[in-house]
Amino acid sequence: MSSPSVEVVVVGGGPVGLTAAIALAGAGVETALIARPARAPDHRTTALVQTSITALDALGVWPSCRGDAAPLRVMRIVDDSARLLRAPQVQFAASEIGLDAFGCNIENRFLLAALEARARALPSLRLVEDEARTIAITDGDITVELASGPALGARLAVGADGARSLCRQAAGIATDARSYPQTALTLNLGHGRQHRDTTTEFHTSRGPFTLVPLPGRRSSLVLVTSPAEAARLAGLDDAEIGREIERRSHSILGKIAPEPGRGVFPLAIETARRFAARRVALVGEAAHVIPPIGAQGLNLGLRDAAAIGELVVAARRDGRDVGASDLTDRYDGTRRADVMSRTLAIDLLNRSLLWGFLPLQSARGFGLFLMERIGPLRRAMMREGVAPAAAPPRLMRGEPL
């Protein structure tokens, strides 16, 4: 039983799917969001760059969660690799490029709650709390069969169904994948000293160890290390892991009080060979998974959501089919440079930490040295970090779709 009842169906109710659905429905596009209920609480946090916040503000989401976010005003990189060639400490201040902050760090639970509340308030958005079981694609439409039985028809499916995407599989899109010999351990913590809105990234020979401010005397930790070491640390009791974090962070935040909820995430890169095909447009981790280094993943995903929203609204305005191949081809072309350049940068940074290869160590150290010494270079890096030079989607500039 199929009802071709909506123009666009978004599959997956993570942060990217919710954002895509809100952007589309908020612009008057009849949209359904198929969201499987969450299986486990998400204790992670997300560092959002300023352009992502601008988009969430334009969508009416940010006002309900900005009070739970901490501004990120300074970023400090410390070479803690204990290698022969060590880079100087580099500090990036948002004020150097005329900004109050690079962005904000927020716990995912608050961001998701704000997105869900906004989604529920939109009349053009049909929320379907279910799981997509199968996806059938024809020349003219797409049919999503739900776990509970009925099916839903649409012109376009936005695949926001994460790294193991059913939408990607249905569209026959292959991926290029690579795993790293590393795992990220995450947890939130309280600390004795003020963080002064400063993110500190220690570069160690097993990967970055990053402390990101949360409101008050709290921070989130992403500790990238070997899988065995991550498993050992995850198994420590609170007092032991608190001491370990204080030691590794050279006590910059004083005494550490870990909060409940540790996460362990194996590091991998996976990129879809196409970001859209056959009436399916992939967004977020369905399109690209990158390691949690440099806070890029969700920021990229939000730009995907904004880009597909913009293309659909323009096609609709011109009376064109929103799932036609000219639109999906255009989406693929629009997102490729942004995704590939960030994936490459994160991959290079991570490899440069892992490899003891001296020329690579020298190149990394020299790069940081140049950034520490040459103001215009440092400022150019900061600008590229908060707002990609290539034309950002309208929502990232605070403009409606």
Ligand X SMILES: Cc1cc2nc3c(=O)[nH]c(=O)nc-3n(C[C@H](O)[C@H](O)[C@H](O)COP(=O)(O)OP(=O)(O)OC[C@H]3O[C@@H](n4cnc5c(N)ncnc54)[C@H](O)[C@@H]3O)c2cc1C
How many residues sit in the footprint of ligand X (CB under 6 A)? Answer: 32
Nearest residue (CB) to ligand X, 105 versus 334: 105
Q: Which residue of 6, 7, 17, 195 would you call a contact of ligand X, by CB under 6 A? A: 17
Residues 6+ apart with CB under 8 A from 199: 47, 72, 74, 75, 76, 105, 210, 211, 212, 213
Reference 265, options 214, 221, 199, 302; nearest CA is: 221
Residues 6+ apart with CB under 8 A from 235: none
Nearest residue (CB) to ligand X, 295 versus 316: 295
CB of 350 to ligand X, least distance (A): 14
Q: Which residue of 225, 299, 334, 350 would you call a contact of ligand X, by CB under 6 A? A: 299
Rg (the chain; Cα; Å): 21
3-state secondary structure of 183: strand
List the interface residues with ligand X, window 130-159 (CB under 6 A).
131-132
Distance CA 106, CA 132 (A): 29
CB of 286 to ligand X, least distance (A): 6
Check binding of 282 to ligand X (CB under 6 A): no
Site string for ligand X, 205-224 (x = CB under 6 A): -----------------x--
Q: Which residue of 51, 182, 183, 186 would you call a contact of ligand X, by CB under 6 A? A: 186
For residues 122-138, one letter each, b for 16 or more C-beta atoms within 10 angstroms of the residue's C-beta and e for the rest, the string is: bebbbbbebbbeebebe
Nearest residue (CB) to ligand X, 29 versus 135: 135
Check binding of 15 to ligand X (CB under 6 A): yes
Indicate if the alpha-carbon torsion angle 232, 238, 239, 244 is positive or negative: positive
List the interface residues with ligand X, window 301-320 (CB under 6 A).
301
Residues 6+ apart with CB under 8 A from 269: 177, 178, 180, 289, 290, 291, 343, 346, 347
Nearest residue (CB) to ligand X, 131 versus 321: 131
169, two tokens:
């599989």
CB of 19 to ligand X, least distance (A): 8
**Residues at the contact surface with ligand X, assessed by CB under 6 A:** 11-17, 34-36, 44, 46-47, 131-132, 160-162, 166, 184, 186, 222, 265, 284-285, 292, 295-299, 301
